[in-house]
């Protein structure tokens, strides 16, 4: 029988921990953390994610500000706003919600953010710190995945871990974190050009699926007792939901779950942990310390 890794419950526990620290900050007359989110355009998924982030801030006692721009915004104007936030001492952390319109360079925008206020953990300075194992802001989704593994006391040392996907947001950073001292996994990263991908996945003790391909991981690709963490969140049409859509993971949950020791659901697994990791990064920034 598998254990369900409940990211929603774990994130709720972490929010309570953060809220308690914010109460202590308030009692001591210290600054309350302030997170700013910049939203460009009105993409449905982005609107939902940002609304959740604002709600999360309210729950833990953070100040939050939402800055909206039309999708026709000139890149220069967006860069000017980022510069303004970089220089605003009242702002502890901020994010620019991705994806951005095609005429705006995501790399230029990410690089313009002050690494000391990089709540998403995407800036090259923070990624570089992560690679060499010194304190910095971790990318929110990998941060959340590692925290789930730790809180469920899942053994990683010496385990064969396969990360499916090589994005800079999830695949690459989580592969680095799992291989570092303290986690000590043996990590293989597979992607669209990998040969014998199914055979590699079959040998995994731990599978991190982050490719955005609904139901890609089937039961015959997973060995008995594996730990499966599903990062996929693809919106697909559904006739049974009010919105007309549902979130689908990269794993065929019904088929795979009976073979697992631990598995995350979609939704309710990694997603809530990504959101709470933004809060943790902002709190770290407000403390003026860089520690994991």
DSSP state of 137: P
Are residues 245 and 235 in contact, defined by beta-carbon separation less than 8 angstroms?
A: yes
Name the one residue in this structure whose structure tokens are 């291989």. 179
Helix 124-132 with 171-179: angle, nearest 10 deg = 30
The SS3 of residue 142 is helix
Beta bridge partners of 186: 160
Angle at CA 99, nearest 5°, toward 283 and 134? 40
List the one residue out of 267, 280, 292 whose CA is nearest residue 60: 280
Residue 14 structure tokens: 């972490």
Q: What is the DSSP letter of 117?
A: G
Catalytic residues: 53, 97, 120
Minimal CA–CA distance to 136: which of 147, 153, 124, 149?
Answer: 124
Distance CA 264, CA 178 (A): 17
Could you give the CA distance from residue 190 to residue 212 in angstroms, rounded to a whole number? 14
Token pair of 112 as six digits: 């313009």
């Amino acid at each position: 029988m598998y254990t369900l890794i409940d990211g929603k419950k774990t994130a709720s526990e972490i929010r309570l921990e953060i809220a308690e620290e914010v109460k202590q900050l308030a009692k001591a007359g210290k600054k309350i953390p302030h997170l700013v989110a910049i939203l460009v355009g009105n993409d449905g998924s982005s609107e939902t994610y940002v609304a959740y982030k604002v709600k999360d801030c309210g729950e833990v006692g953070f100040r939050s500000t939402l800055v909206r721009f039309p999708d026709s915004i000139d890149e220069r104007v967006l860069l000017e706003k980022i510069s303004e936030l970089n220089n605003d001492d009242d702002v502890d952390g901020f994010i620019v919600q991705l994806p951005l319109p095609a005429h705006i360079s995501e790399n230029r925008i990410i690089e313009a953010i002050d690494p000391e206020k990089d709540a998403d953990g995407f800036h090259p300075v923070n990624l570089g710190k992560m690679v060499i194992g010194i304190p910095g802001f971790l990318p929110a989704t990998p941060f959340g995945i590692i925290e789930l593994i730790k809180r469920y006391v899942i053994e990683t040392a010496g385990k064969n871990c396969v990360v499916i996907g090589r994005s800079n947001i999830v695949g690459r950073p989580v592969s680095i974190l799992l291989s570092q001292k303290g986690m000590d996994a043996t990590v293989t990263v597979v992607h669209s050009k990998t040969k014998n991908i199914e055979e590699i996945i079959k040998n995994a003790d731990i599978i991190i699926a982050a490719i955005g391909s609904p139901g890609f991981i089937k039961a015959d690709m997973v060995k008995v007792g594996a730990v499966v963490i599903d990062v996929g969140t693809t919106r697909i049409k559904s006739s049974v939901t009010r919105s007309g859509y549902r979130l689908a993971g990269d794993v065929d949950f019904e088929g795979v779950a009976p073979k697992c020791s631990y598995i995350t659901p979609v939704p309710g697994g990694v997603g809530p942990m990504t959101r709470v990791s933004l809060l943790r990064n902002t709190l770290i920034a407000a403390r003026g310390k860089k520690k994991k």
